[in-house]
Chain A
Amino acid sequence: MSKKAKTYKHWKLEYDKADILWLHLDAADSSVNLLSAQVFEELNLILNDLATDLPTGVVILSDKKDSFIYGADIKEFTTLENKGQAAAFLKRGHSLMNKLEALPRPTVSMIHGMCLGGGTELSLACRYRVMSSEDYSKIGLPEIKLGIFPGYGGTVRSIRRAGPLPALDMMLTGRMLTARAAKKIGLIDEAVPLRQLKHAARRFIMEEPKARKPGLLQRLANHKYLRPLVAKQIKKQVAKKARPEHYPAPYRLIELWQNYADTPGEMLRQEINEVSQLATSKTARNLVRVFFLQEALKKYGKQVEYKAKHVHVIGGGIMGGDIAAWCAIRGYSVTVQDQSPERLAKTAQRAMQSFKKKFKKDRRAIVAANDRLMMDHRGIGVAQADIVIEAIFEDVDVKQELYKGIEPRMKPGAILATNTSSIMLEDLASALENPGRLVGLHFFNPVALMPLVEIIHGDNTDETILQQVAAFARDIGKLPLPVKSSPGFLVNRILMPYLLEAVMMVDEGIAPESIDKAATDFGMPMGPIELADTVGLDICKNVASILSKTMNVELPKNLERIVKSGHLGKKTGSGFYQYKKGKIQKNKKIQHGNLQVLQDRLVLKLLNESVACVREGIVENEDMIDAGVIFGTGFAPFRSGTMHHIQEVGVAGIIEKMQAFEKHFGDRFKPDMYWQKLMKK
C-alpha cells in the first residue's frame, strides 16, 4: 500500500527519492504552529505507522513562513484543573517524545524561524537539529516566564546536549538563542544559511555523524559530588532576580537537576511531577494570565494596516533622543530636532551608545541604525514625517507655540504625537487647526527597556489616528495601552500616590531601606524610594504637583525641601540615597522590624488608585489596569496586576483595612467609592 495514502489535518508527509520522509507541520487554521493536542495525536499516529515501514530518515520542518514551532498551546494549558490532569497532559507529551527519540532511523529537526518551548523539546527528541542562521531564527525554552519549566522532557534532553550550565542558564532565563549561540553550546548540531538548510538536513540523515557531547567542564559540573556546589551558586544568581516565595519554578528546576541528573529516567518522571504541580499553582496561573494580557495589548495594534516611513522627533533630550534612537533601531528613518547642533551632538553620542548596547559587536547593524538617524537642527524632517513625536519639556505654552509653528509644515494626514506625561491633551490640542491629529504617545524611561507605551486619546483625537499610533507602537516592539486623557494618565497616576506615601514615610523617620524592602518583599521590582531617586525627584515633584491639583494627594514637605537643595536623585549623585559612580549606597545593617504595615500602606495606595481608575474608565476594562501596572510599573507579575490581586485577597478585607488606616493615618486612605461596586460583583 502506498505510504502516501494517509492524509492528516496538520501534518504533510513527503518522501523523496532517497526515501527520506519530510514531515511538514502546517497547523490548520492558525498562522503559527502550536503543539496542540490534535497536532500531537496526529504525530503519534504517524510515528506508529513509521514503526512498521521505516524510511531512510525523518526530517521535521515547518510550512509556516519564517516560523517553526511556537510551543505548546497555552490555551490548553489553562484548562488543566488539577495536578492529576496536568500530569496526564504532560505524560502524553513524554510518551510521544520518547517514541520519536526511539525511532531506529536518523531524525532531524530542521529549524527556521522561531522555535519555542515544546518546539525545542520536540527538536531535542530528534537525533539531530539543524537550524537556519538568519537573525530571526531563534531557539529557546522560555517556559520559566509562565512559572513552570520544560515539561516534555526538555530538562533532561537540553542538559544532555548542551551540558548543565548552558542548558540551565537558558531555561532559567528563558533566553532565546540565535543559531550561532545555540550551536556554540551544543543545543543544535548545525547552523547554516537558509539556502543550505535542506542540504544540511539531508547530510545528517545520509551520513549519521556522531552526536556531539558536552565538554569536560560540563561533564564535571554534572558530577554528583560537584552538583550541590554548582546548584548553590546558580541559586545565588537566580536569587538576585527572583525570590523562591514569589517564583518557585527556577528553584525547583535547579533541585530537579541536582537530585536526579544521574538517573535520566527518574529525572523525566520527576519532571512531570514537578511541572504538573507548578502548572496548577497560583503563580503559574497568574503568569499565564499576564501572557494573555500581553496578547490583549498586542491586539490594539492590529486594528489597522499602518506603516509610517519617516519619524521626526522634536526634543533631543534623554526621552526624545532615546525614542529617536529606538525608532532607528527598529528600522525607521528618523530625524531628531533640537535647538542647537551642540545639543544634538550629545543626542548623537547617546544614540550611538544605544546602538552599541543593542547590536553589540555587529558593526554593520550599528552603522545602518546610525545612518537611519539624522540630527536635524533646522527641522527639515517635520515636512517629511508621517509621525512627529514631540518630546520637549513640560510647558503648555511652549508646546502650543511649537505646534502652531509645525502644523502648517506637516504632511496632510501626518500624526502629531506628544510624549507629555502630565499635560492634558485637550490643553495642547487647542493650538491646532486640526486637533484630531494630536495623540499622546507616552513612553517610559528607559525607552529601550520599558515595554509599555500609553496611547492617550483626548476628546478630539481621531479614531483612525489612535489605531495608527497603536500599530506604530507595535511595530517598534512596544505594547500599546489606550488610555483616556486625564491627569497622570494611567501609570503615573497609580504610581504617584504610592511614591508619595513612601516619601511621607521617610518624613516620618522610617529608613528608606525599610520602605523599599517592604515593597520588594511584596514583589515590586524596585522599591518606591529608589524608584523616585532613579526617575529624578524634580520630575516626581512636577508630576505630583500637577496631579495634586485634581487628585486627593498632598505633596510631602520633605520632597519640596530635598528638590530645593538640589539633591535630585541618582542623576545628581544624591537624593534619598547616596550614589557612588551611579551605584546606590544602601545601609545594609538596618534592623527592619515588621514591615507589614509599611507594605500595606504602599500596596493599598496602588490598589485604591487602580480602583479609582476603573471607576473613571481610564482604560477599557479592569484587565487593562492590570496590564498597565505590570508592564508600566513592573507591579509583581506573579500577582497578575492590582485588580486581580484585589480579587485574590478579597474586596471586603481590603476595605476593612483601608477604613482602619483611614482612622489611623487620615483621609488619604479613604476607600474610593467604587470599592462598594466591586463588593457587589
Chain B
Amino acid sequence: MARNVYIVDGSRSPQLKARGRQGLFSASDLAVQSAKPLLLRNAALFEHIDEVILGCIMPGPDEANIARVVSLRLGIPLSVPAWTVQRNCASGMQSIDSAYHNIQSGLSDIVLAGGVEAMSRAPVLHNDQMVNWLGGLASAKTPVLKIKQLFKLRPAYFKPVIALLRGLTDPVVGLNMGQTAEEIAYRFDISRKQMDEFAVASHQRLARAYDEGVMDEVEVLYDTNGNCYEQDDGLRRDSSLESLARLRSAFDKQYGNVTAGNSAQITDGASWVLLASEKAVKKYNLSTIAKITDSQWAGLDPAVMGMGPIHAMTPIMKRKKLSIKDIDYWEINEAFAAQVLGCVAAWNTKDYCAQYLNLKSAIGEIPHERLNIDGGGISLGHPVGASGARIVLHLAKILERKNAKRGIASLCIGGGQGGAMLIERED
C-alpha cells in the first residue's frame, strides 16, 4: 500500500536573468540561500531529513553531485545522503518525483527536494582540436618536442564551444529548442500574434501576482556587493504586443515566429519543496500545503518535444478518470508560447488525441484563465534544472490560496519527453 506524500513547505529564489556575463551566484549559492529560510522555518525537521535530492543540468566544476555540496553547505547532518538528478528541463520535477516514490515506498519520511540552475554560468569549453593540442603539449617531454608542439597551434583551435547553446540543441534530430517550437507552431498553425498575446499575458499575470503579494515563496537573495533581489528580474511590466512585434525571429532566421519575447528567458534560480510522509506529518504535527497523488513521464518525437506535457498528463487523466473540469489549476511550463499553445490545441483536436494519445475523442480545452495564472517561464524565466520544482511548488501555493482541490503541473523536456504531476488538497 503506497503511502501518502505531502508538500509541507517550499521556497525559491528570485529568478535572475542571464545578462551576457557570469551571474553573481553559482548554482550552489542559489540553492543554499533559497533553502536557508525554508529550513529555518522548519527547524524541528532539520535533524530528521532523510535525504536531499536536487535537480541540476549543468553544475559548476566545483559542484560535482551538487546536491551533496548544497546539503553540506546548509549544515544538514553529514549522515544524510544527497544525490543529484538530471532529466534535462524536468530535473527539478524529477527530484520531487524521486522523493515522492521514496516516501511512497517507505524508504524515506522527510525529503528536501528541489532544482537549481545557474544558466549564466554555463561553461565555455575548448573545442576538440584545442583539447588534443593541449594533451600533446602536456605529453611533450623535451623542450624540442614542446617547441614543435607550439608550432602546431592554429587560430581555429581557439574557437570556444558554448555549452549552453549545445545543451539547447537536440543532438539526435539536430534542431535547437526554438526550432522545435517553430515546428509545433507550423503543425498547429499558431500565429505570431497568438504567441505574443500569450507572452504579454504572462508578464501581466506575474506583475499582478507580485502586486497582490501572492509570491511569498520567493525569498530575498543577497549578493555581497550591497544588493538584494526580491523579485524575478525578467518581468517586463511594460510588455505589449507592439513591443513584442518588433522582435526578430530568434531561431528560424527571417521567416520564423518564435522570438526571444515569446520564449522562456534564460535565467538563474533555485526552487525547493520539503516533502513528508503521512507518518512524519502526524509525528511532527506538520501543516501541509498539498498532497502529491500521481506523476507520469512520457516520450515523444524530439522534433516536437514541446508537446511533452499532454503526453505525460493524458495517462494521469485516464488513470484517475479525470476530465478538464476536475482540474482547478494548471501549470504548464512556458518554454515557448508556441509549445504551450500547441499543447492546448492538441488536446482539443480529435486527430491528435487519436493518433498520438490513443484516445477516442479530444480531451477538451484547458481554460486560459486556469493556466499559468501567475505567469511562467516567459515572464519569470526558465532555469532549466529548477523550473520543474518551481511549478509544483507554485501550483501547491495556488491551490492553497484559492482553496482549490486539484491541479496538474507539467513540462516539456528537451530530447522529446514530458513530465506531469498531480497534486491535491484534502477537504
Task: Identify the A interface with B (CB < 8 A).
Answer: 310, 333, 335, 341-342, 344-346, 348-349, 351-352, 367-368, 370-372, 374-378, 380-381, 383-384
Contact = CB atoms under 8 A, between A and B. Distances in A.
A370 B75 contact: no
B226 A374 contact: no
A384 B38 CA distance: 13
B136 interface: no
A344 B228 contact: yes
A342 B228 CA distance: 6
Interface string B64-77: 00000000011100
A563 B224 CA distance: 33
A371 B32 contact: yes
A332 to B, nearest CB: 11
Most buried by A among B41, B220, B222: B222
A196 to B, nearest CB: 24
Contact of B224 (A335, A370, A372): A370
Interface of B: 32, 36-37, 40-41, 43, 73-75, 220, 222-228, 230
Nearest to B227: A345
Contact of A375 (B75, B222, B225): B222
Contact of B75 (A333, A351, A352, A384): A333
Given A341-B230, A367-B73, A348 B40 contact: no
A348 B226 CA distance: 7
Contacts of A348: 222-224, 226, 228
A349 B226 contact: yes
A375 B36 CA distance: 10
Contacts of B225: 349
B226 A346 contact: yes
A344 B222 contact: yes
A374 B73 CA distance: 13
B74 A371 contact: yes
Contacts of A351: 224
A374 B36 CA distance: 7
Contacts of A346: 226
Contacts of A341: 220, 222, 228, 230
Contacts of A335: 40
16 contacts: A333-B75, A335-B40, A341-B228, A342-B228, A344-B220, A345-B226, A348-B223, A348-B226, A349-B225, A367-B73, A371-B32, A371-B73, A371-B74, A375-B222, A376-B37, A381-B40
B326 to A, nearest CB: 36
B271 to A, nearest CB: 18
Contacts of A371: 32, 73-75
A367 B230 CA distance: 22
A375 B220 contact: yes
B407 to A, nearest CB: 27
Contacts of A333: 75
Contacts of B32: 371
Given A341-B230, A367-B73, A349 B43 contact: no
Contacts of B36: 374
A333 B32 CA distance: 14
Given A341-B222, A384-B43, 6 more contacts: A344-B222, A349-B225, A374-B36, A375-B220, A375-B222, A375-B228
B309 to A, nearest CB: 35
Given A345-B222, A349-B224, A384 B40 contact: yes
A536 to B, nearest CB: 21
A492 B74 CA distance: 40
Name the 4 nearest CB pairs between A and B, nearest first: A352-B224, A349-B226, A345-B228, A341-B228
A346 B225 CA distance: 8
Nearest to A342: B228
Nearest to B70: A371
A351 B224 CA distance: 8
A279 to B, nearest CB: 48
A395 to B, nearest CB: 26
A380 B37 contact: yes
Contacts of A352: 224
A244 B34 CA distance: 56
Contacts of A374: 36-37, 40
A335 B219 CA distance: 14
A351 B225 CA distance: 10
Nearest to A348: B222
Nearest to B43: A384
A351 to B, nearest CB: 8
Nearest to B40: A380
Contacts of B220: 341, 344, 375, 377
Nearest to A374: B36
A22 B149 CA distance: 54
A381 B39 CA distance: 11
B216 to A, nearest CB: 10
A372 B75 contact: yes
